[in-house]
Structure 1
Amino acid sequence: MSDLLSGRSSLNDFRGIAFVGGFSYADVLDSAKGWSASIRFNQPLLQQFQEFYNRSDTFSLRVCNRCQFMALLGWVPGADVGGSLGDGGDVSQPRFVHNESGRFECCFTSVRIGDSPAIMFKGMEGSSLGVWSALGEGWAYFPDGVPVAIL
């Protein structure tokens, strides 16, 4: 981010981007808000992210609580839901909120891979994978009335 913010690097030079979890932008509740704000309120950087997202030759990987970050940018579940990147969001955009327990939660669950354009899931349709979920903000909130679910 420092290189992107300073202009030393540009997303135009990359095809893939990984948003890692853990201690990036602090390992505190709502840390994704600060990171997404550093993009949303910087017009040249915002434009780079919009162009990267709209390119047909790119991919992104979200790890841990960076899925929250991607939701705040409007990339999860997709830019076609709610507002668009940089418009301040939309009340219909799904997002991740504090667990109902108010605590950090850790659990093992299974996920099924559906039909996806993601290159990382190519040929894996119908497969089930076991994954660990460990988040303080692991509740997916869907403002359109879809029930809330834990990740």
Structure 2
Amino acid sequence: MSYNIYHNLTINASPKEVYNAVTLPQHLDNWWTLKSSGKPELHTEYNLNFTDDYDWYCKVSKVEPHKTFHLKMTKSDDDWNPTTFGFDLEKAKNGTLLKFSHVNWPKENHHFKHSSFCWALLLNGLKNYLEKGDIIPFTERN
């Protein structure tokens, strides 16, 4: 049995703008990572660095420009390693409907629940980044 996290939100921005914000390192570093690298191309490796202790890697497992972007974890911690997270985008009346998923968690433990809460906060930060230009310094992101 595995456990999954799902969040949907509408962002007042075009699918292209949302796609760029979830795929390009210069944007990821403004709302999620401390520093990141990678290209939105199938099987390309991404480095998601949060601290020296949380220097994680993943590979692009699904990508369609301005529509979908999924990453399969390859080097992280025991809870995240089996997981894949992704962003599916649909044009909406007021911008873009972002359908977020983080699937195949091995346990419904504290880390799973905490990560779900953190994703909700981060996705709200992504929304504010795209709609208002807000950039929260990395040290102030939880």
Q: Report if TM-score (shorter chain) is over 0.5.
A: no
Q: Which has the larger radius of gyration?
A: 1
Question: TM bucket by the smaller chain?
Answer: under 0.3
Higher percent of residues as strand: 2
| TM-score computed with the length of structure 1 as normaliser | 0.24
Structure with more contact order per residue of length (Cα contacts < 8 Å, sep ≥ 6): 2
Question: What TM-score comes out, normalization by structure 2 length?
Answer: 0.25
